[in-house]
Amino acid sequence: MTGEDASSLTANDQGPTTSDGFMQITEIYKSLQGESTFAGLPCVFVRLTGCNLRCSWCDSEYTFTGGQRMTADSVFTEVSRLSRNGGLVEITGGEPLLQERELVPLMERLLHEDFTVLIETSGERPLARVPKAVVKIVDVKCPSSGAPDTFDLANLDALTSNDEVKFVISDREDYEFARDFVSRHNLDTRVRAVIFSPAFRKDAIGPRDVSHCLLDPQRLAEWMIADDVKARLGLQIHKFIWDPALKGV
Ligand code: SF4
Helix runs in 36-142, H state only = 72-82, 100-112
Identify which of 145-149, 198-202, 222-226, 238-242 has the greatest average pLDDT.
222-226
Assess contact for 201 and 170: CB atoms under 8 A.
no
Whether 5 shows a pLDDT value over 70: the answer reads no
Whether 1 shows a pLDDT value over 60: the answer reads no
When pLDDT is cut at 50, 70 and 90, the band that residue 242 belongs to is confident
Task: State whether the beta carbon of 93 lies less than 6 angstroms from ligand 1.
Answer: yes
Task: State whether the beta carbon of 95 lies less than 6 angstroms from ligand 1.
Answer: yes
* Average pLDDT value for residue range 38-64: 96
Which is more confidently placed, 102 or 7?
102
Whether 12 shows a pLDDT value over 70: the answer reads no
Task: State whether the beta carbon of 51 lies less than 6 angstroms from ligand 1.
Answer: yes
Per the rule left: phi > 0, alpha: psi between -120 and 50, beta: everything else, 149 is left
What residues pair up with 87 in beta bridges, in sequence order? 115
Which is more confidently placed, 10 or 68?
68
Q: What is the pLDDT of residue 121?
A: 98
CA-closest candidate to residue 26, choices 64, 60, 67, 65: 67
Question: What residue's CA is closest to ligand 1, atom 8?
Answer: 58
Question: What residue's CA is closest to ligand 1, atom 3?
Answer: 94
Question: What residue's CA is closest to ligand 1, atom 6?
Answer: 55
Q: How far apart are CA 102 and CA 19, in angstroms?
A: 9
Interval 126-155: pLDDT, tens:
999 999 999 999 999 999 999 999 999 999
CA of 86 to the centre of ligand 1 (A): 28
* Average pLDDT value for residue range 209-237: 94
Interval 186-209: pLDDT, tens:
999 999 999 999 999 887 788 878
When pLDDT is cut at 50, 70 and 90, the band that residue 247 belongs to is confident
Which backbone phi and psi does 91 adopt, to 5 degrees? -95, 125
Question: What residue's CA is closest to ligand 1, atom 2?
Answer: 94
Task: State whether the beta carbon of 3 lies less than 6 angstroms from ligand 1.
Answer: no
Burial of 145 (0-12, 13-18, 19+ CB in 10 A): buried
CA of 226 to the centre of ligand 1 (A): 30
Residues sharing a CB contact under 8 Å with residue 157, sequence separation 6 or more, in sequence order:
128
Burial of 9 (0-12, 13-18, 19+ CB in 10 A): middle
- The pTM assigned to this predicted structure is 0.92
- 206 three-state secondary structure: coil
Task: State whether the beta carbon of 142 lies less than 6 angstroms from ligand 1.
Answer: no
Q: What is the pLDDT of residue 202?
A: 80
Per mean pLDDT, which range of 15-19, 69-73, 80-84, 138-142 is the poorest?
A: 15-19
CA of 50 to the centre of ligand 1 (A): 9
Q: How far apart are CA 207 and CA 231, in angstroms?
A: 28
Task: State whether the beta carbon of 54 lies less than 6 angstroms from ligand 1.
Answer: yes
Edge-to-edge strands, sheet with 87-92 = 68-71, 22-32, 42-48, 87-92, 115-121, 135-139, 164-169, 193-198, 232-233
Classify residue 235 by its DSSP letter. -
